[in-house]
Structure 1
Amino acid sequence: MTVVGVLHPGSMGAAVAAQARCNGAEVLWCPTGRSLATKERAQRYGLTAASGIGELTERADVILSICPPAYAEDVAVEVSAHPFNGIYVDGNAISPASMARVSAIMGRTEASVVDGSVIGSPPSASKSARLYLSGPADAATHVALLFAGTAVQARTLAGGIGRASALKLSYSSYQKASRVLAAVSYALARDYGVEEELLDIARGRATSYLAETAYIPKVAARSWRWGPEMGEVADALREVGLPADLAQASAAVMSRWDDDRDSSLSILKALEHLHRDGEHEPT
């Protein structure tokens, strides 16, 4: 039986790890310091509690780090403080440069490091997600096999560390920024009383985030995670000489929703909160 450790089981991490469990893996997690919601999630997915990070690193063959991007390097530091000679998969939305730093941190151990990126919704009986993997071919293939036939469609990429992260941020650069632009556009239209006309225009097109106003509160609730991710997008763009203004601006807009972490706002409240003075906006 392959033993998988997941750090830490948020909505995406727990759902991905649960798919490996469906294929017969035992999945460990560390309850110390975790919230009640996380503990309930781990129980729901049938994850096994470890006594601490020491037991997890000792027993796990594969460790999955799937967390908000701002914590990716801290998690790697935490793991690297313990002996580990398995496969460490960083599945976070971080730039190739950040991924290189994670790889260097894990170089303190005997682990094989795989760059991973998850694209899509948390996998379930009705939804699938893609897990892209790059890095050492044998290690990436081993991780991909953990998810064979599950709702996680694992795909390996040639080219080494950084490729999976670059793919994720290439997608995020459009997906998340366009969600933010849709919210700002709708907020402006509402301020001038033309929101119905804007919706009419948007609905006349085949697809448009502008027509998905019900998603705006979700953007507000997730901006505490999405903002740092857009910061990573900005870093990735700068690294290759591309303009990072839109990504940085999107992070600044999201900072106006910092106090709405994991909230359940109405559309009206989410739009009102965009009028905050932005005192926490990143510089």
Structure 2
Amino acid sequence: MDQPTVGILHPGSMGAAVAACATTNAADVLWCGAGRSTASVERAAQAGLTTLDTLSELLDRSDIVISLCPPAAAEDLAHDVAGHRFTGVYVEANAINPQRTMRIAALLEPAAIVVDGGVVGSPPVGGKTPTLYLSGPAGATTRIETLFAGTAVRTAVLGTEVGKASALKLAYASFQKTSRVLVALAVGMAREYGVDQELIEVASKRTDSYLSEPQYIAKTAARAWRWGPELEEAADTLAAAGLPPEMLHAAASTLARWNDDKDDSSLTLSDALDQLARP
């Protein structure tokens, strides 16, 4: 099979890194630079992506389109793609709940073939090897496996049912991200009473616990603007399954206290805890 042309919508830190891996087995990897930030332009250049001026041109030229954007934008983006009558493979790889993924599939089909995707792990840079879980029509998932073969993005097919990959992504995120929020609250409480170092010492004896990594709290704060919406999606998935969503809503509300710290790599543990303690 000829190498496909791939379009990426819209490359943040994860999207750009995944797209860079796709360049290994693609004829070209395209992105639309119109209206994007300087940081996005720099990421795309570093990833070796080809810049186009319009979404229409990207869709006309792409055999495969991968959507990796903030969860809130996923359906609006899919509506834009549907308006152009895209006829290739559309990988819905956002952290959204299965019901939204199925709505997007219904919107784009039958013109396009929709594959449900969920990335578990850190962006594929510096030796990191996330897994892109896939569910959807067998021929289409095979094409995505081939696209990432031999790259830092591992793939795993969960079956032909759209929704499975989204569910797995959110099930994992609900544990992993809420656990980090609980660490921040525990350390914040201990600091209030001057026993935070003692808490960390206790936790250090349990190296399998996130509580033994308090420095990660600052990273959690910098990622809160992305993590909160993911947890709201996971809460909706719990509710749809008849499970109580309140814990994840509370974790998302906690993360919202850090929304002003978007991608701030200079944030310290002390700064993050100070901001968490402010209503």
Give, as a single letter, the amino acid of the residue that structure 2 aligns with 1:189: A
Match 1:39 to one of 38, 41, 44: 41
Equivalent residues in 2 for 1:1-283 (5 A)?
1-107=3-109, 110-124=111-125, 126-263=127-264, 264-277=266-279
Aligned-residue Cα RMSD (Å) equals 1.1
Query: For 1:71 and 1:214, how far apart are their aligned partners in 2?
Result: 31
1:61-94: per-residue Cα shift (whole Å, max 9, x none)?
Answer: 0000011111111111121111210000011111
Query: For 1:273 and 1:71, how far apart are their aligned partners in 2?
Result: 27
* Unpaired stretches in structure 1, ≥5 consecutive residues: 278-283
Are the equivalent residues in 1 in contact too, given 2:9–2:65 (CA < 8 A)? Answer: yes
Are the equivalent residues in 1 in contact too, given 2:137–2:160 (CA < 8 A)? Answer: no
1:31-66: per-residue Cα shift (whole Å, max 9, x none)?
Answer: 001000110110011100112100000000000001
Are the equivalent residues in 1 in contact too, given 2:138–2:160 (CA < 8 A)? Answer: no
TM norm structure 2: 0.96
Are the equivalent residues in 1 in contact too, given 2:23–2:29 (CA < 8 A)? Answer: yes
1:97-122: per-residue Cα shift (whole Å, max 9, x none)?
Answer: 11112212223x61000100001111
Query: For 2:34 and 2:151, how far apart are their aligned partners in 1?
Result: 29
Query: For 1:150 and 1:179, how far apart are their aligned partners in 2?
Result: 29
Query: For 1:78 and 1:133, how far apart are their aligned partners in 2?
Result: 23
3-state SS in 2 of match to 1:227: helix
Are the equivalent residues in 1 in contact too, given 2:224–2:256 (CA < 8 A)? Answer: yes
Give, as a single letter, the amino acid of the residue that structure 2 aligns with 1:15: A
Are the equivalent residues in 1 in contact too, given 2:206–2:212 (CA < 8 A)? Answer: no
Are the equivalent residues in 2 in contact too, given 1:30–1:49 (CA < 8 A)? Answer: yes
**Could you list the runs of 4 or more consecutive aligned residues of structure 1 that deviate by over 4 angstroms after TM superposition?**
none
Query: For 2:108 and 2:85, how far apart are their aligned partners in 1?
Result: 10
Deviation at 1:276, TM superposition (A): 2.4
* Unpaired stretches in structure 2, ≥5 consecutive residues: none
1:168-200: per-residue Cα shift (whole Å, max 9, x none)?
Answer: 011001000000000111011001100011001
Query: For 2:190 and 2:104, how far apart are their aligned partners in 1?
Result: 43
3-state SS in 2 of match to 1:73: helix
Query: For 1:47 and 1:142, how far apart are their aligned partners in 2?
Result: 20
What is the aligned residue count? 276
Are the equivalent residues in 2 in contact too, given 1:58–1:83 (CA < 8 A)? Answer: no
Give, as a single letter, the amino acid of the residue that structure 1 aligns with 2:40: T
Give, as a single letter, the amino acid of the residue that structure 1 aligns with 2:59: T
Identical aligned pairs, as a percentage? 53
Give, as a single letter, the amino acid of the residue that structure 1 aligns with 2:178: A
